[in-house]
Structure 1
């Protein structure tokens, strides 16, 4: 999962014939891509911000895309997982293309802003209709497609409020970026993009994992991971 997606969480025990679920630390490391994944996904944006300040838009676009490609290729050569690198390359590539065509450095961040707004609204809408997106993503990734949590009122409430939390935080951080975009503060927007990327995501992931583990370990809640 990248900055902008809901988390995976660990709940309860698994049957003896299934491999145990990863620990909290392992799940967070997987979703964040580890320290290397977090660093690599931030480098192209940092390069764009610095080069754009020192020179101008087009060298910044070329430099950021070049770095993103180099990171992805390096991952392939080393036979390491490329999911985070490819996600970063696609995001940087779309923003760079729009900024190149418009000639406005702010447009480098526009796809991320639009995506964040849409993602936050979808999260809140899913909670409003009692189909919390965090719960469904958890079902797909952790519970093998099973959704027994839908039959437990406490888990439904838990996933609903967690989904609301994710949606509110997402809209708040993208709101800051949108305000800087409209104020034509390109450099500040780049800094905000970096500062509001992984830190809030990591905190939300930690809260989600801790909360769901706590609820599912309660004596009066059945373990939905094993049905």
Structure 2
């Protein structure tokens, strides 16, 4: 998850920190986090294969097909000397779900790790906002600001990252709540469709809102406190 450029600070010499260390553009940040159109498609293909194979056949061929597809995608990226971060993340997620489904013999458990991860992630996001250590701010600090945490000194950015963290947490719990309801209702095919539909679209929308909000704050000069 990424956000906008670093807060503008005024070092000696009058230049801004953003001028000294240019940060990725909006498009670059979005492309990096989503993996581009290819990354989005590739991360979804193993789940599509699992859902389709499970409808046509049965559980175990579907598990084998999904894992084989994820491995093939990762191998193709390696062969083409392309970044494999998104492919590896997808492979790990598919492998864990496949292992559980294989062991239990229940196709819906393929989606269980993703549901549990989503619940945990949403709760951590909300908890970090409660203790005034908004996780979105710290992730922004690592990914976009190259480790700088000077946003903690700007009350406007602290407030912005706090409400953004709450937004991410609420959306994450809402989408995982839909999947959990389908899981408990044993609606396996609908659960697979929901997994795809509630994957990248909400994530992309949250990224857009986050980048826009942080850029809006960092580009608006703070109102100076009146002299006493």
Q: Conserved in 2, the CA contact under 8 Å of 1:117 and 1:174?
A: yes
Q: Conserved in 2, the CA contact under 8 Å of 1:120 and 1:168?
A: yes
- Cα distance in 2, alignment partners of residues 15 and 99 from structure 1: 48
Correspondence list, 1:120-131, <5 A: 120-131=122-133
Match of 2:40 in 1: 38
What are the superposed Cα offsets for residues 137-194 of structure 1, whole Å, 9 maximum, x if unpaired?
Answer: 1111222222111121111110000000000000000000000000000000000000
Match of 1:170 in 2: 172
- Cα distance in 2, alignment partners of residues 142 and 67 from structure 1: 32
Match of 2:103 in 1: 101
Task: Give the TM-score normalised by structure 1.
Answer: 0.92
Q: Conserved in 2, the CA contact under 8 Å of 1:215 and 1:221?
A: no
Alpha carbons of 1:16 and 1:218: their partners in 2 closer, same or farther (altered >3 Å)? Answer: closer
Q: Conserved in 1, the CA contact under 8 Å of 2:136 and 2:161?
A: yes
Is 1:7 aligned to residue 2 of structure 2?
A: yes
Q: Conserved in 2, the CA contact under 8 Å of 1:24 and 1:209?
A: yes
Q: How many residues matched?
A: 216
Structure 2: stretches of 5+ with no match in the other structure: 9-15
- Three-state SS of the structure 2 residue aligned to 1:146 is coil
**Structure 1 residue 14: Cα displacement:** 4.3
- Cα distance in 2, alignment partners of residues 152 and 41 from structure 1: 37
| Bigger Rg, structure 1 or 2 | 2
Is 1:136 aligned to residue 138 of structure 2?
A: yes
- Cα distance in 2, alignment partners of residues 76 and 110 from structure 1: 29
- Cα distance in 1, alignment partners of residues 18 and 107 from structure 2: 53
Match of 2:70 in 1: 68
Structure 1: stretches of 5+ with no match in the other structure: 1-5, 223-227
Task: Give the TM-score normalised by structure 2.
Answer: 0.91
